[in-house]
Structure 1
Amino acid sequence: MASAQTPPAVGASRGFGLLLVITGAAGLLASWVITLDKFKLLENPNFKPGCSLNPVVSCGSVMKSAQASVFGFPNPMLGLVAYGIVICVGMSLLAGAAFPRWYWLTFDAGCLFGVGFVSWLQFESLYRINALCLWCCLAWVATIVMFWYVTSFAVRHHFLPAPAPVRAFFAEFTWVLPLVHTGVVGMLILTRWWDFWTS
């Protein structure tokens, strides 16, 4: 029997498991396409990725930047591993798996690192590289949604300390947070290149 200090393993709904599978798959797809294009770009510096549509939406400019290999290897390779793990967790939940508190906290910490990393990439893309990658944007949205729902799960199950009103908010309105977060990023993109979009 689990003691009060050691909560029992906790599973999740099929909806939550499916959300992890979908967001993980979206991020994995984006990472895979970017990785393939990166290899083509290394083989041929004149290669133009299919998502390089104009001076703003220019995947090639992003791939050639120093920020695209911040850890010494292409960023999407990290995504291939990280998003693959998310899919595995989601599929495990769909199969009825349950995990202890430390597992959920570790998973949420990974999502926190992910959303922090993509937030940095968003800033660099908008204000340093001055270009957008559509596949990167897909990974950004997937990571944002994933982070807020995993954090909500951790708060609602008392894995993370929070007052009752916060837990109640997460129980009813988790969807508001990724929507607002994504909306803010969208507004930053719109205002950053307002003259280009309206010209």
Structure 2
Amino acid sequence: MALVGLSAVGLVCSVILLMEKLALLADPEHVPSCSINPVVACGSVITSWQASVVADLPNPVLGIVGFSIVMTAGALGAGGLHFSRWVWVGLLAGVLVGFAFVHWLIWQSLTVIGALCPYCMVVWVVMLALVTVAVRAGASEGAVPAAVSRWAPSAAVMWLALLVLAIFLRFQDYWLTLV
């Protein structure tokens, strides 16, 4: 059920991001709902070239497709369908590719674009959680070594802590003006 819930959150964020992208294409003066301050400004992210990496498709389209696939697999699994090992390996491979893409997007946000998109950050965390859940589920199906499954939650917490630290350090000049 965790795959369904996490994918639903990622899907909602992807749909909202796509709606904001379309609104910006229709009206370049549109201020996205997620543009809050100079740092948390998704308009800067949405209008960057990094926001449409694959065949000029907006990245949220990739999210809509990917999260829909994971949600479907999660719903079928929750409904009692028992997947073969290769399905778990494929699901985990897809989630890992998405997670690698998210890492690239994080790097771009922090080092090139210089802005944070709240919906994107939710997707970052959702992808981390999906990797963790997929690793744990894959281990229970024999598709992932048990040792990898055991350390996955701890690795996820460390990754999240490093992400928060990286965000703080990158924008510390701005954050410190708020206190």
TM-score, length basis structure 1: 0.84
Letter in 2 for 1:180: M
Superposed structure 1 runs of 4+ greater than 6 Å apart = none
Match of 1:94 among 65, 78, 84: 78
Check if 1:181 corresponds to 2:146. Answer: no
Alpha-carbon deviation of 1:178? 1.8
Look up the match of 1:198: 176
Q: Deviation at 1:157?
A: 3.7
The CA distance in 2 between the partners of 1:95 and 1:156, in whole Å, is 17
| Letter matched to residue 48 of structure 1 | V
Deviations 1:24-59 (A, max 9, x none): 011101100000010000000010001101111001
Instruction: Identify the residue that residue 63 of structure 1 maps to in structure 2.
Output: 46
- Which residue, out of 2, 26, 42, partners 2:25? 42
Which sections of structure 1, spanning at least 5 residues, go unmatched?
Answer: 1-17
Give the TM-score of the pair, scaled to structure 2: 0.93
Deviations 1:139-195 (A, max 9, x none): 1100111012212332454323x4xxxx25734x54222222122111100111111
- In structure 1, the residue matched to 2:112 is 128
Partners of 2:99 and 2:116 in 1: CA distance: 17
Give 1:91's aligned amino acid: A
Relative to its length, the structure with more helix (as a share) is 2
Aligned to 1:138: 122
Contact 2:38 2:115 in 1 (8 A): yes
Cα distance in 2 for partners of 1:181, 1:156 equals 23
* Structure whose CA Rg is larger: 1
Tell me, in whole angstroms, the C-alpha distance in 1 between the residues paired with 2:44 and 2:86.
40
SS in 2 for 1:175: helix
Output the aligned Cα RMSD. 1.4
Q: Is the 8 A contact 2:4 2:74 kept in 1?
A: yes
Secondary structure of 2:36's aligned partner: coil
Describe the SS at the equivalent of 1:159: coil
The alignment covers a number of residue pairs equal to 176
